[in-house]
Structure 1
Amino acid sequence: MTGAAERLKISQPSVTQGLNRLSRFTGAPLFRREGRGIAPTRSALQLYEEIGTLPKLADAAVNRLTSFDPTTAQTTFRIALTDLGQAVFLPALVSGLAAAAPHCSLDVANLNTETAGQDLASGQLDLAVSSNLLAESLFTSVIRWDRYVCVSRPNRFTGEKPTFEELTVLPRIVVRGTTGHALMQSLLPPPVPGSVYLSGFSAIPGILSASDLVAFVPEVVTPDWISRWGLEVRALPSDEFAAPVRAHAALDRSSSATSWFVDWAIKRMQAS
């Protein structure tokens, strides 16, 4: 008892009282006298086999909250992105995470700007990426600025190149619910009859290649669309047609794992 008390850094009577309470709770004697000392009973040995590792597991869990080793950790990080954000950032994030934290997983959710702030504050999300500022009080960092361009099918325009004003009054593709795209659309005249409204960007190149519609999209997606679909890209006349892409995280991060992932992911996306 004395040795156990010294190891636990509590008094010997406290150890005795704790064992007596546990014995009364289980209804079985836990120790028997053996010579000048005591020895565990079969009941105590069985109990130890089942719960003896719990203190070590609890210590390990607490340590993971205060110190994080990405090379050995096994956890899941949760990030919310638009479909465009997934196309632009996930290749770099997935490949980078496999190298930096090979035993960790990534859970990707579609960005919901109405709930993302609350999900970050509650710890349900580690990181969210959007162009606008989310409602909650959050840590925010600008990842990049997306310049917008006009995209159309090959040979959509013959003769003189259309002016910007002429492009804005053509039927176009409008992406609903995407914050950066909504900012872009607010700078243009209202869509004219014949326009098409989508919930994401993935269908845009196929629609453009088969129609006379135009679309105003971030320049970052166009190299792939040009190589795969042969689409034509036209620059817009000023830097006004650009939107910031921001990373959002909770001010009070719940663990060292979250802190590591937020800092790492922002740097990774800024470099991509």
Structure 2
Amino acid sequence: MHLQGLDLNLLIALDALLTERNVTRAAERIHISQPGMSSALQKLRHHFSDQLLERIGRNMELTARGRALAEPVKSILSQVRELSEEASRFDPATARRVFRIAATTYGCELLAAPLIVALGRTAPLVSVEFEELAPDTAERILDGRVDFAITISARLLDKMDSHDEHFHSEKLFTDSFVVAVAKDNACPHDAVSFDELCAMGYVETRFGGTIAGISEQLWRQQPRQPHISCWLPNFHLTLDTIGKTDMATILPRLLVSLQGERYNVRALPVPFEMPILEERLYWHKRNDNDPGHRWIADMLRQITLG
């Protein structure tokens, strides 16, 4: 079918290109060859009289026309798929899909391996790509580069206010916080006081180098704060540092329980009130009618319940 000279089959390629911003990844996304995707890009550039993608430094970025097309094209394809009988079915045993999930190292630690094992049993052609939660994760959900984000709402809050009408979310699991110290740390075995914690060197985790964790935000509300010796970009580096020093940090209980032996770390109660950690699953509302999207979300729910 053609519309004003545009082969509508090219819309699928256009959506992949505008989403991935990379010819190779776009080709992989819709399972065609790289030369085939390059040919499609040339046809699209001719039709729209625009480059759509242009090289900026080492990266490919969307032109203004490309950015303007991204959301309408994705919405059109979503509506077309809803008209298809096949779109109402999803057979995990034969489906070939790639799902992308943004999460902290903590979320990946708890969910990645169990999900990959489950996919190997029930959906051998379905792949999952985990990436670090980043300041632009909300935008990546909007433009389709990420299918899900697993995070506390506070970490996306600055973006959620302006995009809330596009997202759905639900509670995935809850956790609590503990003080993490080395097993051979000189502090008392079963507890640490507020003053003792403030007197210790402290390690803070900032995701993507800029996203402050809950503990850092709550420390700012306390009458006294510890000296922060360093900021690290993920929980594993933080745990490794804690296990080799006399410093402390505050981390999710489940993570310390899973990795305590590996990193020579033990858990103590936090000497001031901390909120329950509620990790939520976020996705774009346009995916609500996608059976594959619903299926992978249900897999994540089953893993957290298990």
1:227 to 238, 247, 261: 261
The match for 2:127 is 105
TM-score when scaled to structure 2? 0.61
Q: 1:221 to 1:159 in 2, by over 3 A?
A: closer
Which of 144, 153, 166 lines up with 2:196 in the alignment? 166
Q: Deviations over 1:33-73 (max 9, x none)?
A: xxxxxxxxxxxxxxxxxxxxxxxxx99x9444332111111
Q: Which amino acid letter does the alignment assign opposite residue 213 of structure 1? A: M
Which residue pairs with 2:305 in the alignment? 271
What is the match of residue 294 of structure 2? Answer: 259
Q: CA deviation at 1:218?
A: 0.4
* CA shift digits 1:171-215 (9 cap, x unpaired): 211001379962222222475445111011111232112211101
Which structure 2 residues correspond to residues 73-152 of structure 1 after superposition, within 5 A?
A: 73-112=95-134, 114-132=135-153, 134=156, 135=160, 136-137=163-164, 138-152=167-181
The CA distance in 2 between the partners of 1:246 and 1:148, in whole Å, is 17
Instruction: Name which structure has the greater RCO, CA cutoff 8 Å, separation 6+.
Output: 1
What letter corresponds to residue 219 of structure 1 in structure 2? R
One-letter code aligned to 1:197: W
Question: Which residue is 1:42 aligned to?
Answer: none
State the distance in 2 between where 1:117 and 1:63 align. Answer: 31
The answer to whether the 8 Å contact 1:172/1:191 transfers is no
Aligned-pair identity in percent equals: 18
Summarize the Cα distance change of 1:116–1:209 in structure 2 as closer, same or farther, 3 Å threshold.
Answer: closer
Match of 1:184 in 2: 215
Query: In structure 2, how many angstroms separate the alpha carbons of the residues matched to 1:124 and 1:162?
Result: 44
Gapped runs of 5+ residues in structure 2?
1-79
Alignment partners' CA distance in 1, 2:110 and 2:231: 22
Could you say which residue in structure 2 is the equivalent of 1:55? none
Distance in structure 1 (CA, Å) of the matches to 2:214 and 2:113: 26
What residue ranges of structure 1 are gaps of 5+ in the alignment?
Answer: 1-57
Which amino acid letter does the alignment assign opposite residue 149 of structure 2? Answer: A
1:129-166 CA distances to partner (integer Å, 9 max, x unpaired)? 01125312211111122211011112312568531342
What code does the residue aligned with 1:256 have? P
Separation in structure 2 between the aligned mates of residue 251 and residue 129 of structure 1, nearest angstrom: 16
Structure 2 counterpart of 1:77, one-letter code: F
Equivalent pair of 1:184/1:242 in contact (CA under 8 Å): no
Q: Where in structure 2 are the equivalents of 1:37-76 lying within 5 Å? A: 62-76=84-98
Higher helix share: 2
* 1:214-233 deviation per Cα after TM superposition (whole angstroms, max 9, x unaligned): 01110101123332233221
Relative to structure 1, the CA distance from residue 162 to residue 261 in structure 2 (aligned partners, 3 Å threshold; closer, same or farther) is closer
Letter in 2 for 1:116: T
Query: 2:205 maps to which residue?
Result: 175
Secondary structure of the residue aligned to 1:202 is helix
Tell me how far apart the structure 2 counterparts of residues 149 and 87 of structure 1 sit (CA, whole Å): 17
- The alignment status of 1:214 with 2:248, answered yes or no, reads yes
- The two structures have a TM-score, normalised by structure 1, of 0.68
One of 170, 174, 186 as aligned partner of 1:157: 186
